[in-house]
Amino acid sequence: MKSSLILLLALSSLFLPQCRDQEGQGEPSQSGGGESKGQTAVNDMTNLNEDQEASASENPKVDYGALSDEEWKDRLTPEQYYILRQAGTEPPNGEVYKEFKGQGGGTYHCAGCNTELFKSDTKFDSHCGWPSFYDPSKAQNVKTDVDFHLGYARTEVRCAVCDGHLGHVFSGERFASMGGGQTPTGQRYCINGTVLKFVPNEQKSGVE
């Protein structure tokens, strides 16, 4: 009886290690040449961060205040440079104004920095020869200053992001297009169309 028990114990000792080895097959190794799930996730995140950093470096945010005159001349047409950087004025009733009158719904952006300035909802025909709006689309994107270029005070309108000259704003005027009354805000933003970039509503999603 004892001899039979000893034989059974001996046989079981031969089979148990083999069973344990078979149960462990197919499991990833936590050391050596294999890579754990946790390490794979870390590597994937590292690669994603590197891609994001590379993308950001290809499109760095522009410091418009640091651009030189030569850099502005490279970015703008001569007419845009004259208006935005030298406070010039385009001729009234020009081709740009005719295009402006025919444009439909959309937004108007600064040609110098692509900042949104006005919406077509607030434009109107003042018959002055320049694009007219009665309110900016985003108040924080425009700023005003006092202009004495004609020998008397006028309120100059500038882009708050790149500090480019846009035109002037006037108050208390009356217009035939408003039934002889004032605009809803009582103001007329008289803006040079040359420095406005029109973006139709259907294309606005591609503009920052």
Residues identified as active-site: 190
Gap between the Cα atoms of 92 and 98, Å rounded: 10
The token pair that represents 136 in the structure block: 């900016």
Whether the CB-CB separation of 157 and 167 falls below 8 Å is answered with yes
Backbone angles phi, psi at 202, to 5 degrees: -70, -15
Is the separation of the CB atoms in 133 and 115 below 8 Å? no
Q: Helix (H) and strand (E) counts for the chain?
A: 5, 9
Q: Which two tokens stand for residue 73?
A: 């001349």
Helix (H) or strand (E) holding 189: strand 187-191
Q: Which residue has the tokens 């005003």?
A: 144
